[in-house]
Structure 1
Amino acid sequence: MSNLIVRLRKSGQMPVAAAALCSVGLLLLGSLYSSNFLSADYLLLQLQIASFLGVVATGAMLVILLGGIDLSVPWVVTVGGVMSAAAAGWWGGAGANFAIPFGIACGALFGLVNGIGVAYLRVPSMIFTLGVNAVAQGLVVVRTGGFAPQDRATPAMHLIATGRSFLGIPNALLVWIVIGSATVFLLHRTMMGRAIYAVGNRERAAYLSGVDTRRVTLLCFVIAGACSAAVGVLLTGYSTKAYQAMGEAYLLPAITAVVLGGTNILGGRGSYLGTVVGVILITLLQSILSVIQIPDMVRQVIYGGIIIVMLLIYGRGRRMTE
């Protein structure tokens, strides 16, 4: 056992293993309340719910690997949902064919703005993305008049979010698998992936070695914006219509899942497997807290506490190596 722990520490996979063990522990704890916690239907339902958080966490991880943070997630998610439903309403039957890509493109546009501000204007990501989040909120309020949007999800959006078209696997989970596989390929099989880790470790050194650090940062924010908007599209399909502040519940859980999975919140280190395990852990934790009726404010305290602890751990480790 001690040899296994040593190997996990050397490989940097200790947080992944710890999160996986915690997930198993939560399942066993939940089974004490109800045997349904270990049923196939329940597990598939949790994976379907985890898919929404997993897609958001994918974009969040890319930005965190750079050493940045994207606080525009809540309202970029809402933009994706509102604009995808609006496209179907604007263009009638033909709009249904463009609703999903249009909503995702709107999110990517906000990601582009974030990337320009952070990469080219050199504004700290926390400040700039918070401002973009406020702008997105204002635009959604202008678009909807401050009320719940009247446009509804298209049948395709509803099918992707709630259907099970292949071997009983939720379509939303298949979407996450596709996005996750593409992310793993990006991070470990492309020059772009190596550049992301290089920028996160030492941006100046990456720049001096020939990496176009501004372009890498820009592309990561664009991908993050597209991922957030894609979740807005999924949520709209899941609930059949968009609604105000539909992304508010995803910012802290997404960041928490990423750092719980071992991604250094200061950038430069992390694996997508860790993010997947972190997402599953957070989803199971949310389920358990809902069953035992823990107030939402307590959940936010838990998420914030985890982020603070991880920041202290990683920040101390970074200072010791410098």
Structure 2
Amino acid sequence: MTRTLPPFIARLDKPVLAAFGCIVLLLLVGSLYSSSFLSPEYLLKQLQVASFLGLIATGMMLVILLGQIDLSVPWVVTVGGMMSTAAAGWGPLGEALAIPFGILCGMAMGLISGFGVAYLRVPSMIFTLGMNAVAQGLMVIRTGGFAPQDHTTDMMHFLATGASILQIPNALFVWAAVAAGAVFILTRTTYGRAVYAIGNRERAAYLSGLPTQRVMMLAFMASGGLSAFAGVLLAGYSTKAYQSMGDPYLLPAVAAVVLGGTNILGGRGSYIGTIAGVILITLLQSILSVMQIDEAGRQLIYGSVIIGMLLVYGRQKKAS
């Protein structure tokens, strides 16, 4: 007598199941190093930290599903944090507009990247790397190379560090709202179907009448806006913005998306996998921190994970 899996589990890709399996394994390993690793308070703290990475990974997933990459994440995150705190210093109106202003700055950076990739046909790896350098130069010019003296708003601090309902971090609710929107767009809208179609075969999608250039540009705008939003929350979390605040998030964001089963060549992936990847990377960071492995070692591990996943899943054929 054969035993069938529940429909929900049966629909999950092998990489997604592997990611959830690794999460369980990391929880068990972490509990060996610290007795408080499995406590509700500690797990909620990890989910709060994961929320910042989750926002960035959401935008990164949209871009990767198209078969592209966004390497401007580090300094777009910094742009979001610095410009929102700068707006907060403009008085009451600036404080009210600080969060949307930071997000809009990130969307503007994403718009430029999207235009360059979609309309000028510059490879995304090259163009977004250039945009990252441009964003870095702009922020260095603005601050003179020193830490800015701007401050965060109460709302930024509340969203990043507060806990309103059942002591659940507000940042987790923010990520949940963004995740719900991403799932709806990818599974229930024409835009989501177009993203998958372009990732599978851009030329076929174009010949079928899909506005491929517009879809690409919107995806890069979303990536820029979400990265900047993460920068806003990070500024609220640390009560200030600072140089290179987004540097630690590029490799983890790519690793989270790839670990979650999204094909690096585009066209295949589910958001539940990205959620699993984000939680996995966050727990891995926590364990590496407990084990006192330095940043260089962590970057080595992230890079090895990405290469390993590419070797296992990256060579799979796209859906026809």
Q: TM-score range by the shorter chain?
A: over 0.9
Contact 1:8 1:14 in 2 (8 A): no
Q: Give me the whole-angstrom Cα distance separating, in 2, the residues matched to 1:87 and 1:268.
A: 39
Aligned to 2:214: 215
Q: How many residues align?
A: 320
Give, in angstroms, the shift of residue 4 of structure 1: 6.0
**Residue in 2 that maps onto 1:57:** 57
Matched, 1:22 2:17: no
Q: State how far apart, in whole Å, the 2-side matches of 1:147 and 1:157 are.
A: 22
The yes-or-no answer on 1:147 pairing with 2:146 is yes
Q: Alignment RMSD, CA only?
A: 1.9
CA separation in 2, counterparts of 1:272 and 1:72? 22
Secondary structure, counterpart of 1:165 in structure 2: strand
Aligned equivalent of 1:292: 291
Letter paired with 1:165:
S
Give the structure 1 partner of residue 277 of structure 2. Answer: 278
**What is the aligned partner in structure 2 of residue 233 from structure 1?**
232
> Residue in 2 aligned with 1:182?
181
2:309 match: 310
1:286-313 Cα shifts (integer Å, max 9, x gaps): 0000001112111111111121222233
What does residue 129 of structure 1 align with?
128
Distance 1:143 1:75 in 2: 13
Where structure 1 has 5 or more consecutive residues not aligned to the other structure, the ranges are: none
Counterpart contact for 1:65–1:196, Cα < 8 Å: yes
Q: Does 1:247 align with 2:220?
A: no
Deviation at 1:3, TM superposition (A): 6.3
| CA distance 1:22–1:68, shift in 2 (3 Å) | same
Matching residue of 1:43: 43
| 1:162 counterpart letter in structure 2 | T
For residues 110-147 of structure 1, the C-alpha deviation after alignment (integer angstroms, 9 at most, x for no partner) is 00000000000000000000000000000000011100
Amino acid at match of 2:288: L
Change beyond 3 A, Cα 1:2–1:148:
farther
Gaps of 5+ in 2: none
Aligned to 1:259: 258
Instruction: In structure 2, give the amino acid aligned to 1:293.
Output: Q
Say whether the 8 Å CA contact 1:266–1:314 is kept in structure 2.
no
* Post-superposition CA distance 1:75-109 (Å, at most 9, x none): 000000000000011x2122110000000000000
Please, what TM-score do these two structures have when normalized by structure 1?
0.95
Secondary structure of residue in 1 paired with 2:312: helix
Q: Is contact 1:78-1:232 (8 Å) kept?
A: yes
How far did residue 149 of structure 1 move? 0.7
Pair 1:168–1:315, CA change in 2 (3 A)? closer
- Give the residue type in structure 2 aligned to 1:70: D
Between Structure 1 and Structure 2, which shows a larger proportion of helix residues? Answer: 1
Please list the CA deviations of residues 56-92 of structure 1 after superposition, one character each: whole Å capped at 9, or x if unmatched.
0000000000000000000000000000000011x21
Q: Per-residue CA shift, 1:188-225, capped at 9, x if unaligned?
A: 00000000000000000111111110000000000000
For 2:8 and 2:187, locate their aligned partners in 1 and report how far apart those are by CA, in whole Å: 20
- CA deviations 1:137-196 (Å, max 9, x no partner) are 000000111000100101110011000012211000000000000000000000000000
- TM-score, normalised with respect to structure 2: 0.96
Structure-1 residue corresponding to 2:108: 109
Per-residue deviation at 1:2?
8.9
Cα pair distance change 1:205/1:10, threshold 3 Å? farther
Q: Is the 8 A contact 1:31 1:38 kept in 2?
A: yes
8 Å Cα contact 1:80-1:230 kept in structure 2: yes
Q: How does 1:71-82 map to 2 (within 5 A)?
A: 71-82=71-82
Q: How far, CA to CA, are the matches of 1:313 and 1:127 in structure 2? A: 26
Cα distance in 2 for partners of 1:179, 1:250 equals 18
Aligned to 2:268: 269
Give me the whole-angstrom Cα distance separating, in 2, the residues matched to 1:215 and 1:139. Answer: 27
Give the superposition deviation at 1:53: 0.4
Residue 91 of structure 2 aligns to a residue whose secondary structure is helix
- Aligned partner of residue 38 in structure 1, secondary structure: coil
Q: Deviations over 1:218-242 (max 9, x none)?
A: 0000000000000000000000010
The C-alpha deviation readout for 1:245-269, integer Å capped at 9, x for no partner, is 0000000000000000000011000
Q: What secondary structure is seen at the aligned counterpart in 2 of 1:252?
A: helix
| 1:186-201 superposed matches below 5 A | 186-201=185-200
Q: Which one-letter code corresponds to 1:233 in the other structure?
A: V
> Structure 2: which amino acid aligns with 1:260?
L
Whole-angstrom CA distance in 2 between matches of 1:260 and 1:23? 11
Q: Which amino acid aligns with 1:57?
A: A
